[in-house]
Amino acid sequence: MNYIEIFTDGACRGNPGKGGWGALIRQAGKENTIYGGEPETTNNVMELTAAIKALELLEKGSDVVLTTDSKYVMQGITDWIDNWKSRNWKTSAKKPVLNKELWQKLDELVGQHKVRWKWVKGHSGHRENEIADRLANKGIDEL
């Protein structure tokens, strides 16, 4: 197994409100964790931030499997983003894409790696997702 596994999660208390993000990164049999928080944010911003922060740590050209429990992140990066870009960052309803700067950063990072995306149901006992969730909440608690 030569690829890097990343498991991400975001959390918010109030939406908007205090938010946190967390990621578990597994490489060569070793697990590392990262997390952080923002005093005033949204759940979707934290979900995007978790993926961005994890990908920023990797060497360019990494082979990655990124698992998220966020359908927003998963569908945004795999389905919606090409249309957003072709419409100059507008939705199909011609409204500005929310969190555009974060989507652009994530798109840039994904372009630097080989990333395969997986979705997992949150709060379903998935070990690595539960760890990412605890990290995201720790990011809030330590604000």
Is residue 63 part of the annotated active site? The answer reads no
Is residue 141 part of the annotated active site? The answer reads no
Is residue 107 part of the annotated active site? The answer reads no
Is residue 82 part of the annotated active site? The answer reads no
Question: How many residues are given for the chain?
Answer: 143
Radius of gyration of the chain from its Cα atoms, rounded to whole angstroms? 15
Among residues 36, 69, 76, 128, the one annotated as catalytic is: 69
Among residues 19, 37, 47, 76, the one annotated as catalytic is: 47
Alpha-carbon gap, residue 122 to 5, rounded angstroms: 17
Among residues 14, 101, 108, 123, the one annotated as catalytic is: 123
**Cβ-based neighbours of 75, under 8 Å, separated by 6 or more:** none
Which residues face 36 on adjacent strands? 21
Dihedral sign for Cα atoms in the order 10, 5, 71, 126:
negative
Catalytic residues: 9-10, 47, 69, 123, 133
